[in-house]
Amino acid sequence: MGIKNNNLNHIVIGTDANYLHKAVVFYESLKAVYKNFILHVFCFDEVSYKAFSKLSYQNVVFYHPKEFETKALMKLKSSKERAYEYYWAINAYITKFVMDKYNPKSVTFSDCDYMFFQSPELIFDETNGADILIQPNNFSYQQVKDFIPVGYYCSSFEFFRNNKNGKKALNWWHKACMEWCSASFKDGKFGDQKYLDDWRTRFNGVREVSNPGANVAPWNIQKYDLEKRGGKILINGVWPLIYYHFHSFRINLSNYKYIVTGDRHNNYEIDRKVINLVYKPYIQKIISAIKKLKKVKEYRLYIESNPEGNYHLIKSI
C-alpha cells in the first residue's frame, strides 16, 4: 500500500511512553472497523518509537523525534514545564508535517485516547463540500460551565483538505500555537483548542461535525442514553457510537488498577451503564495492549520507573 495513495485518509496522532497503550488501542480499534487509512504516529520519545518499530502494524508510518523536531520545536519543548503543553503546541505542526511531506488530498489530526466502535467514514462523509472539519465539545448541562474558558470546539479531530482553505487554517493554527499554547487561561485563549472558536468566520469552507456518534466523551455522556442493539452501541436509540474519547482515563501500567476519570484532577459523572457498555471493553483492550507492549524491553524498563505513568513533567520525555 503506497504512502502517497491519495485514496487513503491520512490520520495523524502523537504519543509518548505514557500514552503508548492508548495509541495501540486507537490503531487496533480503527483497523477493526476501517481500512481506508494511513496512520502517522509521531513518537515523542525513544520508548514509543522502539515499541512501534517492533509492532509490525500495517497502514502505519511512525516517526522518531529526530525526524520531525526542529530547533524551534526543541526550544519550545525546553520552555514547557508540562509535557502535554508541548504536545498540544505541536499538534498543528505534525499535521502540517504530513501535509507538506506527502502532499495527500487531506490530513486529519486526532487525539490518540479513542476507541472506535464504528467506522469513521460516517465522519469523513461530512467533509463533502467542506475544506475543514472541526469537532464540537457538545458539553452536557452538567459540564457546560466549562464551555467559555475551554472552548466550543475540541481540538481532537480536525480534517484539513490539501487546498488553499485547508492550508490557510492549518498554517495559521500552527503559527498561533508556536507563539502561545498553555494549560492556563489567558486573554481568551486555552491550549491549542480555544483558537478554533472563530474558525467558521475566520476561514472559508469550515464545517463542524454534526454526527452525535463522534466525540462522545466524559463531558457530554450525561446527556445521552446508551443501549446495545444488534451488536452496536446506539446513542438515544438512533445514532451508532463511532468513537468514545477516553479523556482522563488512567491506569497503573504495572498492576492494571484504573481510575475512570482520574487524569489531571478531572471528575466527571459516569453512569454505571456507560461503564459497562463503553469503559469495560476499553479496559480489556488497554490491558491487552500493555501486556503486548511489555514484550518490548524499553517499555518494561519505563514501567519499572513509572508504573502509574507520568502525566506532567517534560523531563520524563
Cell (9 digits) for 196: 478554533
Residue 263 confidence class, pLDDT cut points 50, 70, 90? low
Cell (9 digits) for 253: 501500567
How many Cβ atoms are within 10 Å of 262's Cβ, its own excluded? 15
User: Could you tell me the CA-to-CA distances from 219 to 23, 140, 154, 169, 256 in Å, in that order?
Assistant: 21, 6, 11, 27, 24
Q: Is 258 helix (H, G, I), strand (E, B) or coil?
A: strand
Given a cut of 70, whether residue 154 has pLDDT beyond it is yes
pLDDT digit string, tens, across residues 299-317: 999 999 888 876 543 332 2
pLDDT digit string, tens, across residues 36-77: 999 999 999 999 999 999 999 999 999 999 999 999 999 999
Over the Cα atoms of the chain, what is R_g? Answer: 18
Query: What φ, ψ does residue 221 adopt, rounded to 5°?
Result: -65, -20
Contact 7, 36 (CB under 8 A): yes
Which residues, at least 6 apart from 316, have a Cβ–Cβ distance to it below 8 Å?
16, 17, 18, 83, 306, 310
Whose CA is closest to 189, among 176, 202, 200, 201?
A: 176
pLDDT digit string, tens, across residues 124-144: 999 999 999 999 999 998 777
Given a cut of 60, whether residue 259 has pLDDT beyond it is yes
Any bridge partners for residue 239, and if so which? 235
All structural domains of the chain with their residue ranges: 9-316
User: Could you tell me the CA-to-CA distances from 220 to 60, 67, 146, 193, 284 in Å, in that order?
Assistant: 31, 37, 11, 17, 23
Q: Please give the mean pLDDT across all residues of the chain.
A: 92
| Residue 222 pLDDT | 93
The model's pTM: 0.94
Fold assignment, 9-316 = Spore Coat Polysaccharide Biosynthesis Protein SpsA; Chain A (3.90.550)
